[in-house]
Amino acid sequence: MPGELTTDKPLLAVLRGERRDPPPIWLMRQAGRYLPEYRELRAAKGGFLDMVYDPAAAAEITLQPLRRFAIDGAILFSDILIVPHAMGMHLSFVAGEGPRLAPTMDRATLGELTTDPSRFEPIYETVRRVKAALDPSVTLLGFAGSPWTVATYMIAGQGSREQAEARTLAYADPGRMDALLDAVCETTLDYLSGQVAAGVEAVQLFDSWAGSLSPIQFERLVIARNAWLASEFRKRHPNIPIIGFPKGAGGKLIAYARETGVDAVGLDETVDPAWAARELPAHLPLQGNLDPLALVAGGAALDEAVTRILDALAGRPHIFNLGHGILQTTPIAHVERLIERVKRG
């Protein structure tokens, strides 16, 4: 909790309100396709979902970046759509196109689904395996999709750039949308609690599609739902920090930070870190927010971007991260350069 010293885990210490110099660092999607060892394992094991539900493979993937880089957090290798899968939707991943969910919730009803919580069990086993293998100084992070973002996939059956189907449903039939979000919230709460029981030490809520909403919808679909989830999660797990990451929120971050009750806020790459340092509560830990493309570019552009973030957020609790997930084309040497620069302070 704020003010409590956590000397052996720098990332967890910052999430609890400490300022560390240099700041701890981890990278969203740090376990994945830019690593040759990941590509080799995927070729041997099969599809993405097969690996998510294979605890030995998922634990190995989670640990791979820790063997290469001096990073302070391990993020569970899984997917935000495990929640609708456990709620009874059919989940598949189409090569080159991404996830598919059926039946879509713009036509089907929750009553047509059969919940299967056992689909969470392999994820919990992955957490247990990673926890047993981690260096004690590394914080184990669990995660889930925030209710709005998960609902967009459930309604459209796949990712969509503007989330038009979900946004339209929220306007046209708010009762139906509320029922869906209620169910997602309850399932997500149980899922995160299971991750904590298995060993995660902090959780992140990914609201990847928060940026597509009008202010009224953002208040109702993002802030209110994340506030409920944070409050109920804290009743069960008062000592487990929550990172909220509402990508694309922009100026609405002020209300998000004030009203959701999360312990830290992740900034995407479009947010000016100097603005965030000025406008968001001084005690609030911030995470981010290097542009993933600056990491791809490397060189002077990378160094300049890193310096700007470090300088802007120097006076507050800060976890260095990207503004979104690391890209498949990222050179490993650039990641090494980034970590060396951050650790140098």
Residue 212 token pair: 């597509």
Residue 21 token pair: 């110099």
- Is 79 a residue of the active site? yes
Looking at 53, 153, 191, 256, which residue is catalytic? Answer: 153
Residue 258 token pair: 């004030």
- Is 42 a residue of the active site? yes
Looking at 20, 68, 79, 182, which residue is catalytic? Answer: 79
What are the C-alpha distances in Å from 79 to residues 82, 205, 209, 328? 6, 12, 15, 17
Q: Map tokens 């100097």 to a residue.
A: 274
Q: Return d(Cα 320, Cα 27) in angstroms, integer.
A: 8
Q: At what angle do helices 332-344 and 299-312 cross, to 10 degrees?
A: 30
Helices within the chain (DSSP H only): 10-15, 36-45, 48-52, 55-68, 82-86, 121-133, 147-156, 164-172, 174-198, 215-217, 224-236, 253-259, 273-279, 292-297, 299-312, 332-344
Residue 83 token pair: 């929640």
Looking at 19, 20, 33, 176, which residue is catalytic? Answer: 33
Contact 32, 38 (CB under 8 A): yes
Looking at 19, 20, 42, 119, which residue is catalytic? Answer: 42
Q: Map tokens 């879509």 to a residue.
A: 104
Q: Return d(Cα 19, Cα 285) in angstroms, integer.
A: 8
Looking at 29, 129, 220, 225, which residue is catalytic? Answer: 29
Contact 71, 25 (CB under 8 A): yes
- Is 220 a residue of the active site? no
Q: Return d(Cα 176, Cα 157) in angstroms, integer.
A: 16
Among 76, 49, 103, which Cα is nearest to 195's? 76
The residues assigned a catalytic role are: 29, 33, 42, 79, 153
